[in-house]
Amino acid sequence: MADGHPGGNLVSLGAIQVFRIASGMAVNVMVMRGLGLDGFGVYGYVTTLVGLASFASSMGMDRLLKREIARDPALAGRYVATALGATALLSGVTSIGIVAWAAAVDGRPLVIGACALAALSMTMTALDVIPVAYFHAIRRMKLGVSGNGAGRLMLVLATGAGLALGWGVPAMFGAQLLDGTVTFVILWRIYRGLDTPPLQTSWDEVIGLIRTSIPFGFNSLFVSIYLSADVMLVAHYAPTSDWLSTTNDTEVGIYRGAVMLLTMITVVAETYSTGVYPRMARHLGDPGEAGRELSFATRILLAFSVPVAVGGFLTAKPLLVLIGGAAYAASAAPFALMIPLMPMRFLSNGFGMTLTALDHQEDRTRGAFVAAFLNIAVNLWAVPRYGAMGAAGTTLLTETVLYLWMHWRVLPLVTGLALGQSLLRVGIPVAVMAGVILALPPMQVVLKIGIGVGVYGAVGLLSGAVSRADIPRLRGV
Q: In this predicted model, what pLDDT tens digit does every residue of 389-448 receive, in sequence order?
A: 999 999 999 999 999 999 999 999 998 887 888 888 899 999 999 999 999 998 899 999
- What's the gap between Cα 381 and its chain centre? 26
Residue 384's φ and ψ, nearest 5 degrees, are -60, -25
- Domains of the chain, by residue range, sit at 1-212, 216-468
Helix (H) and strand (E) counts for the chain? 18, 0
pLDDT higher than 70, residue 240: no
Q: Once rounded to an integer, what is the mean pLDDT over residues 32-47?
A: 86
Lowest mean pLDDT, pick from 93-102, 172-181, 226-235: 226-235
Per the CB < 8 A criterion, the answer to whether 224 and 365 are in contact is: no
pLDDT higher than 50, residue 3: no
Using CA of residue 112, residue 114, residue 120, residue 123, what is the dihedral sign?
negative
- Which has the higher per-residue pLDDT, 137 or 116? 116
Query: Given pLDDT bands bounded at 50, 70 and 90, which one contains residue 244?
Result: very low
pLDDT at 451: 95
pLDDT at 477: 61
- Which has the higher per-residue pLDDT, 255 or 123? 123
pLDDT higher than 80, residue 36: yes
pLDDT higher than 80, residue 16: no
Query: Given pLDDT bands bounded at 50, 70 and 90, which one contains residue 7?
Result: very low
Residue of 233, 230, 263, 229 whose CA lies nearest to 248: 233
pLDDT higher than 60, residue 4: no
Mean pLDDT of the chain: 85
From CA 419, how far away is CA 294, in angstroms rounded?
A: 10
Stated pTM of the model: 0.71
Highest mean pLDDT among 80-94, 201-215, 366-380 belongs to 80-94
- In percent, the amount of the chain with pLDDT more than 90 equals 38
Q: What is the DSSP string of 75-107?
A: GHHHHHHHHHHHHHHHHHHHHHHHHHHIIIII-
pLDDT at 280: 87
pLDDT at 476: 62
Lowest mean pLDDT, pick from 92-96, 138-142, 447-451: 138-142
Lowest mean pLDDT, pick from 134-143, 237-246, 284-293, 313-322: 237-246
Q: What is the pLDDT of residues 183-205, one digit of tens each?
A: 999 999 999 888 888 888 999 99
pLDDT at 259: 84
Q: Once rounded to an integer, what is the mean pLDDT over residues 148-153?
A: 88
pLDDT at 165: 92
Per the CB < 8 A criterion, the answer to whether 176 and 46 are in contact is: no
pLDDT higher than 90, residue 242: no
